[in-house]
């Protein structure tokens, strides 16, 4: 596959997980807005649902985008505690994470949930960031590539190249999330190549060449540039290091 990295915009997303109230989130977002130097990368933050509106206000007029951390696939109805894709769009989100490993492993989201969630995000006109990744046991058993391929296939199955135009994928090895143990640039690039080849066979070369594939797992300011140097690494999904403006800005600036 030809290297089309230069045609894909780098994407950096800060996943705040279950951190920050509205007031704290607005302050963090304002500090990111104030410190962000103009660059080519697309930068987004994913606050908890209760902070979305305050953060949307804080980033208004800036180049920073708003992302949801999760979604329920139905548009509305008797689903206590759930938040739908149209609600996230109305709150100002243009991206939504689906299938984050904490959703899969703590809350029990399976591949079918992830597929429905991704579809609801597409239907609401936003970009789903589909998270895939293997556990340490699966990697040690030599199953990493198959696990990731299957997660991807289950998600994009039945969607056309045109429907998948807004898709982004995040490769997040479970053993690297919040552990301080980062995949080496070579390990990340090898799996990103597998993901791009899988997208080509599942959805066509157009989808494969256009889809940004982000890496996530203990990314910091001092390893971001090396990970991003991979020909198939188009961005970063950042957890812990996105909770402070200075460390998140270091990563954003490393992304150019």
> Which of positions 18-57 make contact with ligand PEP (CB under 6 A)?
none
Smallest gap from Cβ 129 to ligand PEP, in A, equals: 10
Is 38 buried (19+), middle (13-18) or exposed (0-12) by CB count in 10 A?
A: exposed
Q: Is 100 a residue of the active site?
A: yes
Q: Of 73 and 104, which has the nearer Cβ to ligand PEP?
A: 104
Nearer to ligand PEP, 89 or 251 (CB): 251
Catalytic one of 102, 134, 145, 172: 172
* Per-residue x/- track, 155-174, ligand PEP (CB under 6 A): -----------------x--
Contact 56, 91 (CB under 8 A): yes
- Cα gap 121→188, rounded to integer Å: 26
Question: How many other C-beta atoms are found inside a 10 Å radius of the C-beta of residue 93?
Answer: 26
If the CB atoms of residues 177 and 213 are measured against ligand PEP, the closer one turns out to be: 177
Q: Which is nearer to ligand PEP, 8 or 244 (CB)?
A: 244
- Closest alpha carbon to 45 in 55, 57, 37, 60: 55
Smallest separation (angstroms) from ligand PEP to the CB of 233: 14
Residue 141 CB contacts under 8 Å (≥ 6 apart), including other chains: none
168: left (phi over 0), alpha (psi -120 to 50) or beta: beta
Least Å distance between CB 219 and ligand PEP? 5
Window 227-256: residues binding ligand PEP (CB under 6 A): 237-241
Q: Which of 91, 65, 67, 86 shows the shortest CA–CA distance to 17?
A: 67
Q: Shortest CA distance to 151 belongs to which of 167, 132, 124, 176?
A: 132
Phi then psi dihedrals of residue 106, to 5 deg: -90, -40
Residues 11, 12, 15, 29: which binds ligand PEP (CB under 6 A)? 15
Residues in contact with ligand PEP, shown as a per-residue x/- string from 202 to 231 under the rule CB under 6 A: --------------xxxx------------
Of 4 and 19, nearer to ligand PEP (C-beta) is: 19
DSSP SS3 for 162: coil
d(CA 230, CA 109): 30
Q: Considering only residues 173-202, where is the footprint of ligand PEP by CB under 6 A? A: 177-178
Q: Catalytic residue among 42, 73, 100, 145, which?
A: 100
Q: How many positions of this chain bind ligand PEP (CB under 6 A)?
A: 14
Q: Which of 164, 150, 151, 167 is nearest to 213 (CA)?
A: 167
Contacting residues toward ligand PEP, per CB under 6 A: 15, 17, 172, 177-178, 216-219, 237-241
Catalytic residue set: 100, 172
């Amino acid at each position: 596959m030809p290297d089309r990295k230069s045609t894909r915009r780098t994407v950096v997303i800060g996943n705040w997980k279950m951190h920050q109230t509205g007031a704290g989130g607005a302050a963090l977002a304002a500090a990111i807005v104030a410190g962000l130097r103009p660059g080519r990368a697309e930068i987004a933050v994913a606050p908890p649902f209760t902070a979305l509106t305050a953060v949307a206000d804080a980033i208004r007029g800036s180049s920073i985008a708003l992302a949801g951390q999760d979604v329920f696939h139905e548009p509305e109805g008797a689903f206590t505690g759930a938040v739908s894709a149209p609600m996230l769009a109305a709150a100002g989100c243009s991206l939504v994470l689906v299938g984050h490993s904490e959703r899969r492993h703590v809350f029990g989201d399976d591949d079918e949930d992830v597929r429905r969630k991704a579809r609801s995000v597409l239907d609401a006109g936003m970009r789903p960031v589909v998270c895939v990744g293997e556990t340490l046991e699966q990697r040690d058993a030599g199953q990493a590539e198959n696990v990731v391929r299957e997660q991807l296939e289950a998600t994009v199955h039945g969607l056309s190249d045109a429907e998948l135009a807004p898709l982004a994928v995040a490769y997040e090895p479970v053993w690297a999330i919040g552990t301080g143990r980062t995949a080496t640039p070579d390990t990340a690039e090898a799996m990103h190549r597998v993901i791009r080849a899988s997208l080509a066979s599942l959805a066509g070369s157009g989808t494969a060449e256009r889809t940004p594939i982000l890496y996530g797992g203990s990314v910091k300011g001092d390893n971001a540039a090396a990970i991003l140097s991979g020909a198939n690494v188009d961005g970063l999904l950042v957890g812990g290091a996105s909770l402070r403006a200075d460390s998140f800005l270091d990563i954003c600036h490393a992304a150019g």
